[in-house]
Amino acid sequence: MNDLRELYQEVIMDHSRRPRNHGTIEHANRTAHGDNPLCGDKVTVYLDLKGGLVKDIGFDGRGCAISMASASLMTEAVKGRTVEEASRIFEQFHDLVTGEGEVDEEALDKLVVLAGVRDYPVRVKCATLPWHTLTAAINQKEEVISTE
């Protein structure tokens, strides 16, 4: 179990130091900002949403290692997925970090590295902030981006 914890810790540190899909994306049609004042985490999610599919996703932000790693892992988990798939993954992820409900580790894939968060209730908000921000971006009305 200790080896597993160490491995999980390494993945978290790797993603927080070298976040994947970092920065804005081309053709973003949704953007949302998330704020976790408890810890000082700030996340902006950029989405290219087409026909119910997450074609591309990027994020910007600053905050603790948990929030940044969670955002990075989230972008990898939902890129290329449908909105329904993404929200199902979020439900599973929420259960994982709160320790509630039955967790499907296979569906969560790499996101299981954040399982340890459930022992630190104050960190749950750090881990779920990117996901709440993603949900806000998905639920936005399509923004018409004009170059005029």
Binding site for Zn ion (CB under 5 A): 39, 41, 63-64, 67, 126
Residue 81 vs 94, nearer CB to Zn ion = 94
For 145, counting Cβ atoms within 10 Å of its Cβ (0-12 exposed, 13-18 middle, 19+ buried), the class is exposed
Backbone φ and ψ for 102, nearest 5 degrees, come out as: -90, 130
Closest contact distance (angstroms) between CB of 59 and Zn ion is: 14
Q: Taking a C-beta distance cutoff of 8 angstroms, is the pair 67, 61 a contact? A: yes
| CA separation for the pair 125, 84 (Å, rounded) | 22
Closest contact distance (angstroms) between CB of 64 and Zn ion is: 3
Residue 37 vs 51, nearer CB to Zn ion = 37
Residue 34 vs 63, nearer CB to Zn ion = 63
Residue type, 126: C
Residue 103 vs 126, nearer CB to Zn ion = 126
Residue 32 vs 117, nearer CB to Zn ion = 117
Distance of CA 123 to the CA centre of its chain: 14
Closest contact distance (angstroms) between CB of 79 and Zn ion is: 23
| CA separation for the pair 113, 92 (Å, rounded) | 13
Closest contact distance (angstroms) between CB of 21 and Zn ion is: 19
Closest contact distance (angstroms) between CB of 119 and Zn ion is: 15
Dihedral over Cα of 6, 107, 46, 28: its sign: positive
